[in-house]
Amino acid sequence: MVAFLLAWDAIAVALLTFGVVASPSPDLVDWGRFAILAGCATVHIQLTRRQEERRRNRVTAVHIDLTGIWVFPAALLLPIPLTLLLIALLRVQRWFNSRRPPHKFVFTSFTHAVSALLAHHLYQTFASAELARLSPANSLQVFGILMLVGFSYAALQAIVIGGLLALGGTSAPTLRNVLGTKDDNLLELSTISLGTIATILLVNIPPAIVILVLITVLGNRLAEINQLQSEARTDPKTGIFNVRGWSESAERALARAARGGETLALLMIDLDHFKWINDTYGHPAGDDVLRTVAQTLDEITRPKDIIGRFGGEEFLILLPDVDSTAAKVTAERIRTAIADQRIVTTDKRGGSALITGRTASIGVALLGANGTTLEQLLQAADAAVYTAKEGGRNQVRFADANLPSE
């Protein structure tokens, strides 16, 4: 991770130096646009300072900064030196809000700057002339090009910052934590879209860009509300659904299955002798095991399967469109995957430790055969887990004795 960070910083310095040297000198129009963007961005940052601070403190991995709304049009329309000056101005203000480790803050700032450099050159190559003669005839083409440039701008940041997170920048390098959740990516898309609108306004109706300040302030507040709603449905240790979030999604899936006469299975996964891990290695090691199991479940299940933490060392998975045979195959795959895990963690003294050979007892309940409501399926799966534990643990049991077991 350190090597990646230092290498990227060196590459960024070289690219930005070349960009500054090759850039033309700013004229009065450029300085006017810079002043407008800097003023709007500063007002935005100061009016949302508290919300942004709370949002950052709740995030353990990817964080979407809405100031991209102002950086993106600067990247397209301004000479590189003015774009970098704007980024520096915004990042300095963000520093007093975020108080993140300096090396990570510098890394992120360089990433934003290189992304802006990429967007600038793409815009100058493909869209600059078209935007200058914007008309109804070419408006769709211009908007499409601007959005593609915006996608490139965001994609470079996602790849570079995601690479750092994957190499150790987050304690749980899951796909969600590295590349962001669906909500994170939708927020990034919204930021680029508003940045595109800001670009068009700045070229054609500069005073109208002030309207975007109100929109960005509202956007920050909506982002915080969405984050709070997500947290209310998410287990903080594992990043998957908690009981509330899982139950809401599972109820909807169950209703769809009932209406369509479809099959459905519920798996309850109970980690065997989990208390021994906490007693032997300490609770931080137990948390590492829970996170690793959650990550494994996310990797080996389908996108439409609903995963949640039931509490303690128990997990739940709802499997839509699955019959008894497919449910058994899935449950056995999960049981084997958990048994094969090699979890690098720490012991009670903070030293390195490796946890292997952990097992799980899995209970399976089927819609119709074991109940028609979520509560009935949970009770049936829970009973099957106890059967598995009484039978020696590390096995799959179905709630109905007439269905396949072992």
Residue type, 373: T
Which has the closest alpha carbon to 197: 31, 40, 29?
Answer: 40
Q: What is the average pLDDT across 222-226?
A: 70
**CA distances from residue 98 to 45, 193, 271, 305 in whole angstroms, order as listed:** 12, 25, 38, 36
Give the span between the Cα atoms of 71 and 83, in whole angstroms. Answer: 7
CATH number among 3.20.20.370, 3.40.640.10, 3.20.20.70, 3.30.70.270, domain 243-398: 3.30.70.270
Widest distance between CA atoms in the chain: 82
Q: Which residues share a beta bridge with 361?
A: 270
User: Does the pLDDT at position 346 exceed 60?
Assistant: yes
Cα–Cα distances in angstroms (integers) from residue 151 to residues 141, 156, 177, 189, in the given order: 15, 9, 20, 8
Q: Can you tell me whether residue 285 is helix, strand or coil?
A: helix
C-alpha dihedral (320, 299, 246, 341), degrees to nearest 10: 120
DSSP-derived letter for residue 181 is -
pLDDT band at 172 (very low <50, low <70, confident <90, very high): low
Q: What is the percent of the chain where pLDDT is above 70?
A: 90
pLDDT at res. 177: 66
Are the C-beta atoms of 196 and 143 separated by less than 8 Å?
yes
Q: What is the mean pLDDT of residues 268-293?
A: 94
**Gap between the Cα atoms of 333 and 328, Å rounded:** 8
Mean pLDDT for 345-362 is: 92
Sign of torsion over alpha carbons 353, 359, 361, 366: positive
pTM value?
0.63
Q: What is the pLDDT of residues 302-336, one digit of tens each?
A: 989 999 999 889 999 999 999 999 999 999 999 99
Q: Find the length of the chain.
A: 406
Residue 402 has pLDDT above 60, yes or no: no
242 pLDDT tier (thresholds 50, 70, 90):
very high
Q: What ranges do the domains of the chain cover?
A: 1-231, 243-398
Asked whether the predicted pLDDT for residue 37 surpasses 50, the reply is yes
pLDDT tier at 234, thresholds 50, 70, 90: confident
396-398 and 360-366 beta bridge pairing: parallel
Burial of 67: CB neighbours in 10 Å, binned 0-12, 13-18, 19+:
buried
Q: Say which residue the tokens 């060196």 belong to.
A: 10
Q: Which range, of 177-186, 357-366, 387-396, averages the lowest pLDDT? A: 177-186
Mean pLDDT of the chain: 87
Contact predicate 397/363, CB 8 Å: yes
Of 3-7, 77-81, 237-241, 397-401, the one with minimum mean pLDDT is 397-401
Q: pLDDT band for 391, please (50, 70, 90 cuts).
A: very high
